[in-house]
A = this chain, B = another copy of it.
Amino acid sequence: MAERPLLGGLEAGGTKFVCAVGTGPDDIRALERFPTTTPEETLGRVIDFFRRQPEPIAALGIGSFGPVDPDPGSPTYGYITTTPKPGWAHTDVAGTLRRALNVPVAFDTDVNAAALGEQRWGAGRGLHTFVYLTIGTGIGGGVIVNGRRHHGRQHPEIGHLFIPRLPGDDRPGHCPFHGDCLEGLASGPAIAARWGRPAPELPPNHPAWDEVAQYLAFGLANLILTLSPQRLILGGGVMHQTHLFPRIRRHVAACINGYVALPDLDTFIVPPALGDRAGVLGALALAEEVMSGLKHGIL
């Protein structure tokens, strides 16, 4: 039996980078996290990490913060494009790493990578249509339709859905583009700004949480009505508040109000089976895709 090739994965986040070497969730040979600083320094640490490994990787997968260009046919494939993050606009992440490490590289958005990780090894196994949503510093999602990561004309931006305000809530939203879109009402920084305390410090019985659950439920209801997914996987720092899950399930059912039949909510709205490793494992799964593409001669 042939040995499985050693894969490299990079979760390139706006706050931190996570690098891993291995073949899957049960075989991670090395893993390292470091803060996102300048492109030079940060990509330098990535290159150094992979060069330091005792065995070379056969391919590298990258899930990156954005906006990115994930279109393999485009001249700027693998770039971070117009980000406001200082220094990072128009950075050729995939090309830089491919040239330095001399391996085939696959590149997609961070949330698509996490969705792929869950599809390959987690809560998305066996599903044709599902959504992975992360509720953290921002809100973003990866959409899988008919087994494939959905891009469309560009790619989805489901963190910024427009949703109703709750009666009596007149505190401003915090999205710089839209004010009170989903991200502006329910991301970690939005919760902190709207309630005057960092989200992790708000106790579970604080009224913030039921409001957040309600806003997230409106967003999920819109995803259900548009995509008719088989599952909604919710990750990110804010979802460390696990009491949000039952609240969100209740509010989604109330919103939809019988208009479409919902499956068992406890298995429909779930945390990522890979936990906070969904992103970096998804990057490994991207590398695995490159390998099987090479094997089948399509790259």
Contacts and interface: CB of A to CB of B under 8 A. Distances in A.
Contacts of A178: 255, 257, 259
Contact of A260 (B154, B221, B227, B260): B154
A157 B229 CA distance: 12
Given A129-B153, A153-B129, A259 B222 contact: no
A154 B268 CA distance: 14
Contact of A162 (B151, B154, B228, B255): B255
A228 B156 contact: yes
Contacts of A258: 177
B162 A221 contact: yes
Size range of the chain A interface in the assembly = 35 or more
Closest A-B pairs by Cβ, 10 of them = A152-B228, A177-B259, A129-B152, A226-B226, A153-B228, A153-B230, A162-B218, A157-B225, A177-B257, A154-B228
18 contacts: A129-B152, A146-B146, A150-B228, A151-B228, A152-B227, A156-B226, A157-B225, A157-B259, A161-B225, A162-B222, A162-B255, A164-B164, A164-B165, A165-B165, A177-B258, A178-B255, A178-B259, A222-B226
Interface string A152-191: 1111111011111100000000000110100000000000
A1 interface: no
Interface of A: 129, 143, 145-146, 148, 150-158, 160-165, 177-178, 180, 218, 221-223, 225-230, 255, 257-261, 263
Contacts of A230: 152-153
Given A177-B258, A180-B164, A155 B226 contact: no
A143 B152 CA distance: 12
B165 A261 contact: no
Contact of A226 (B223, B255, B259): B223
B223 A155 contact: no
Chain A interface, DSSP helix/strand/loop, else mixed: loop
A151 B128 CA distance: 11
Contacts of A162: 163-164, 218, 221-222, 255
A226 B163 contact: no
Contacts of A155: 228
Contacts of A261: 154
A153 B229 CA distance: 6
Identify which of A129, A223, A226, A257 gathers the most chain B CB atoms within 10 Å of its CB: A226
A261 B163 CA distance: 21
A152 B257 contact: no
B158 A226 contact: yes
Nearest to A180: B164
B145 A146 contact: yes
A180 B157 CA distance: 24
